[in-house]
Structure 1
Amino acid sequence: MLKSERKQVILEEVNRDQIVSLESLVQILQTSESTVRRDLDELESEHKLRRVHGGAQSLHSLQEEESNQEKSIKNIRSKKLIASRAVSLIQDYEVIFVDAGTTTELMLQFLNNPKITVVTNSIHHATTLVEKNIPTVIIGGLVKRSTDASIGGVALNQIGQLNFDKAFLGMNGVDQDFFTTPDMEEGAIKRAILENAQKTYVLADSSKLGQTSFVKVAPLKRASLITNGSRLDLIAKLKEKTEVIEV
């Protein structure tokens, strides 16, 4: 395979999965590790990707945000494992908050307990929960179309009047210091939920680890992280700052 063809394949893999390991690229390209390293170094110098320990990840802007439809087809297996683990933490008679988002949406497949109350800022989450006969409270406000999240003053006011035993949040970025998200208003909602929950869990697959978005939601110590364990280098560093539950 020509160098130009190898580099194109690498970019396709990185852009599809956000992050790709050196080992998987060696297998896909059927070439040596040293050759793949050189290709990655060249692509980084061309500002087409970013090198990370053990592989590479896609470049993204601080305010970049995909729609729920775009997110829903990515990393499904990992997201289901994370969602299932999150549901296992819920106990009878608890009031929980389930954030809008694609990973939190997958929690609903495993959530069948009518002895809990679920508060959510997602219309679609609420519809599914009501159909499953689970007591449900929906947060109002302006609905952000791309993420199906209620945002704004009305939503903040309602959240401020409630308390949650546990909250389950999605995030776009988990760097070595903060949980982050691209949108200021969604960031404010997530921050308010954190402040009103006795225990908060952030659900983030490995493609979010090491990423930084525009808005700092909270320091890592404010919430536990549930993630899949494919980024062992980053997970070890994150464990120094907060509880990490691997699936």
Structure 2
Amino acid sequence: MLKEERYSVILDLINKKGILKVSDITDVIDVTEVTVRRDLQDLDQRGLLKRIHGGAQSTHPIKLEKELSHIEKKNLNLDSKIHIAKKIATTICDGDSIFLGPGTTIELVHDYLNVNNVKIVTNSIHVFNGFIDDPRYELILIGGSYRNKTGAFVGSIANDILSRINIDKAFIGVNAINDNTITNSNEDEGMIQTTILNNALEKYIVADSSKLNKRDFYQFYTLDKVTAIITDNNISPENIDKYSKYTKLYF
């Protein structure tokens, strides 16, 4: 690979990821670490990236998403949320055991679900309140430390309980997806989400199309390990091509 070709690949990686280690770059372009360090130094001198210890960072990285409150999120992209909630409902069958994570999209699932004998596990007080008066479902609320911003129970107690639970299907709302990386705003919620995804036979990531090509504070899973992304029908052809390389897309 010629030098300018290497530069193009390196800049593309850096601008997508924000920060990369030297070893990450050598794995992609198959040259020595000495060559990569020399390339990074040259690109730094040109002002195209910034050298840091062990790697480099973009001079214009993808901006982290601001975590909104539950009330702020509730009416955002409502049409897309309804579309996704209906899609989630179609994937749930009689007799399933499922986990419904926190999120204003997932809270709408009850309105479109028409099955029986389903065991529903959640750590969301808002999801719990939506199902509490419906006798068709066995409802289990996981307790722990309460996050008022999202209405989720998190922490070591919640994580310990969920580590012992095996379920058929998990539906996890996220703040951002960028390439193969799934992120959210809070590490405690991320740990919970990792645990339950690992214990689910089918793993579904719930994200409207506005969450694509963005990143947030805490990386908790990768797309190549999940069953599908459930999103809305506003997803662009470019993003369909991009993300279908990692997993299935339901929209």
| TM-score, reference length from structure 1 | 0.73
Counterpart-to-counterpart distance in 2, 1:194 and 1:166? 9
Q: Which amino acid aligns with 1:92?
A: D
Contact 1:184 1:215 in 2 (8 A): yes
Render the CA deviation track for 1:150-182: whole Å, top value 9, x for unaligned: 110000001001011001110000111111101
Whether 1:240 and 2:242 are equivalent positions in the alignment is no
**Who is 2:49 aligned against?**
none
2:132 to 116, 130, 133: 130
Any conservation in 1 of the 2:65–2:176 contact (CA below 8 Å)?
Answer: no
SS at match of 2:132: helix
Conserved 8 A contact 2:175-2:211: yes
Per the alignment, residue 105 of structure 2 pairs with 103
* Secondary structure, counterpart of 1:125 in structure 2: helix
8 Å CA contact 1:229–1:235 kept in 2: the answer is no
Residue 70 of structure 2 contacts residue 149 of structure 2 at CA under 8 Å; is this kept in 1? yes
CA contact (8 A) 2:99 2:122 kept: yes
Deviations 1:8-47 (A, max 9, x none): xxxxxxxxxxxxxxxxxxxxxxxxxxxxxxxxxxxxxxxx
Instruction: Name the SS of the counterpart of 1:200 in structure 2.
Output: strand
What are the ranges of 5 or more consecutive residues in structure 1 without an aligned counterpart? 1-58
The residue number in structure 1 matching 2:233 is: 229
Separation in 1, partners of 2:147, 2:218? 17
1:15-164 equivalences under 5 Å are: 61-62=63-64, 64-133=66-135, 134-164=137-167
TM-score (norm 2): 0.72
Other-structure match for 1:215: 218
Deviation at residue 112 of structure 1 after TM alignment: 3.9
Partner SS state of residue 105, structure 2: helix
Q: How many Å apart are 1:127 and its aligned residue?
A: 2.4
Equivalent AA in structure 1 for residue 240 of structure 2: I
- Give the drift of 1:222: 1.6
8 Å CA contact retained: 1:129, 1:135:
no
- Structure 2 residue identity aligned to 1:160: S
- In the TM superposition, residue 79 of structure 1 has moved relative to its aligned partner by 0.8
- Distance of 1:105 and 1:215 partners within structure 2: 23
User: Where does the alignment leave 5 or more consecutive residues of structure 2 unmatched?
Assistant: 1-60
8 A contact 2:145–2:153 mirrored in 1: yes
Distance in 1, Cα, partners of 2:116 & 2:148: 29
CA contact (8 A) 1:112 1:132 kept: no
Which position in structure 1 is the counterpart of 2:178?
175
What fraction of aligned residue pairs are identical, expressed as a percent? 34
| Structure 2 residue 212 is matched with structure 1 residue 205 | no
Cα separation, 2, equivalents of 1:118 and 1:104: 12
- From the CA coordinates, give the structure whose radius of gyration is larger: 2
Q: For residues 185 and 124 of structure 2, what CA distance do their matches in structure 1 show?
A: 18
Quote the Cα distance in structure 2 between the aligned partners of 1:120 and 1:61: 30
- How far off its partner does 1:62 sit? 2.6
Distance 1:193 1:101, change over 3 A: same
Counterpart-to-counterpart distance in 1, 2:200 and 2:193: 11
Deviations 1:62-100 (A, max 9, x none): 362001111111111111111101110111111000001
In structure 2, C-alpha distance between the alignment counterparts of 1:142 and 1:208, rounded to whole Å: 27
Work out the CA distance in 1 between the residues paired with 2:62 and 2:117: 42
The alpha-carbon deviation at position 123 of structure 1 amounts to 1.6
Q: Say how many residue pairs are matched.
A: 188
Deviation of residue 216 (structure 1)?
0.8
